Structure 1
Amino acid sequence: MAKWEKMEAKKWWAAREIYEDVLEKGPKPNNMSYELRVSHFNILLNAARKRGIWRWGVRFFKRMVEQGEKPTIISYGALPSALEKGKLYYEACRVWDHIIKIGIEPNLYAYTILASIYTAQGKLNIVDSIIRGMGVYGIEPTVVTYNAIMSGCAYNNMGSKAYEWFHKMRAQNISPNEITYEILIEALKKDDKTKACL
């Protein structure tokens, strides 16, 4: 393990310990302490998601709910993303259903994660429905949304599908960025269709 990786791991564990201290011994509940606790939770949940340690993300989420904290859309966005990293697609979709059931309006980030989850499962017809359904909440997909879908296609050896999504994005007048082209080239390379890129 590289020196900087060890330092990052130490920071993660230190942050986790601070959060647990705040939960157990922290300030008496008030509006400010509530915001602090939820903010710490969201930071750690996102860190767990980024590091691919989804089990910790689930534990933090359960602990937060047990402590009586009300998760935010940021919390509910990070949890399915962490579950997706662990390939727990069913559980991630259950979290999404719960978000809708309790009346939290999903944001662009949450929709992008949901589209990514279904792309990873090869359920692109559902991804189509998600993109169309975003409009109900007045949310428009961005290049990041389409990049997530194309990246999922590339990862799952569906280069032709990534190329189709590229054209859907262009049809929506969404401009590709450098990342889009990198994803698309990688996807088509896997399908041995790099001539389509030229």
Structure 2
Amino acid sequence: MKIPLFLILTLLVLSRSFSQAEQFVLFDVTFPFTKADADNSTPSKSHYYVKSDRLNPQRPKDWTTPVDYRNGTVHVRLEVLDKPAGSAPTTWSVCYIPYKGQNHGYGCIGTGVYQEKGVYEKDIAMTSFWQNNDILWDQGIKEMHLVLKDHTNTHAHKRADSEKFFPTRVRMTLIQVSKGATYDAKLLPELSETAVKK
């Protein structure tokens, strides 16, 4: 049986597009964060909000099919550009806010604890983080909430010594990697290769 040339070309294009869809940048934001920012953020304190218009507009509506990102990994890259002296252990909770959830309605990963300026990277399984099952992944992600905390998971603005955490300035990048694929830094040459693995 002869297969039409246009069908062969279509299949080649589709297979190539799926192979290239093994990872995508969900967001890449650089921002300062002061004690006043934390005190005045609404609706929740110590939150930095990455709304829908700052997420990748090409992010999938359905994270389960045709490419399975829900059962893949997320590569977290945190570049700490400024941080108060004193080496206070610090971390960020990074929360996925879906268009539609269940139970608590959201789930969060953590950047890992850091004490100094620098670049920190880690890979996290999408099925392993806190409340990941409270998100209906086939409905898509609406926004992301970034929450500054200390190493005991206390919101930084609540500490009596909050000057050890504010002001700060960071660049945070989340790269979603599909099930069975591995994060490939070469696909994102604009990101520094120098990092501390956590």
TM-score bucket (shorter structure):
under 0.3
TM-score with structure 2 length normalisation? 0.27
TM-score with structure 1 length normalisation? 0.27
Identify, as 1 or 2, the structure richer in helix: 1
